[in-house]
Structure 1
Amino acid sequence: MRRGRNRVLGEERGDVPGWVLITLMTAGLVIVLWGLAGPALGGVFDAAIDRVMGF
């Protein structure tokens, strides 16, 4: 009974580095995209607020 349980746990441990890598890569992409698009999105937001406040 324990052999089967250990074998399953051993297989699951191999997936953790893949999930960590995917998480880190996703965070990196978000940071890069936010850095590139952040000022443009801020300008769009400011323009929208100015139009609303103008009414």
Structure 2
Amino acid sequence: MTLMARHGIALVRALGLGIGRAAASIGQHRRGDTLGRDHGERGDVPGWVMITLMSAVLVAALLALAGPALEAMFNQAMDTVGK
């Protein structure tokens, strides 16, 4: 496993732990904030935050796994154009 892949996996694990903690604190905040009040038009902001963070983790994981192959393809294409 390359160094870049190891760093990518470590980043994904760290982000995963952070997402879990953030989701727990958001859930606690929402439960405490909605007591006794009606927020029908409020929307689902924590859900969108979670989707955004999960998308960022997915992109980081794909980049970590496919980075060397993409770099090799790019370099090969540039060499072909340069000739």
When normalised by structure 2's length, the TM-score is: 0.50
What is the aligned-residue identity percentage?
57
Aligned-residue offset at 1:21: 0.5
Q: Which has the higher contact order (CA 8 A, sep 6+)?
A: 2
- 1:8-47 aligned at under 5 Å gives the runs 10-13=39-42, 15-47=44-76
The verdict on how the C-alpha distance between 1:12 and 1:19 changes in structure 2, with shifts beyond 3 A counting, is: farther
Structure 1, residues 6-34: CA drift from partner, whole Å, max 9, x if none? 84xx2344501110100000000000001
When normalised by structure 1's length, the TM-score is: 0.72
Q: Which runs of 5+ in 2 are unaligned?
A: 1-36
Matched to 1:44, the amino acid is M
Q: Write the distance in 2 (CA, Å) between the matches of 1:44 and 1:38.
A: 10
Moved beyond 4 Å, runs of 4+ = none
Instruction: Report how many aligned residue pairs link the two structures.
Output: 47
Q: Which has the higher helix share?
A: 1
The verdict on how the C-alpha distance between 1:44 and 1:11 changes in structure 2, with shifts beyond 3 A counting, is: same
Aligned-CA RMSD value: 1.8
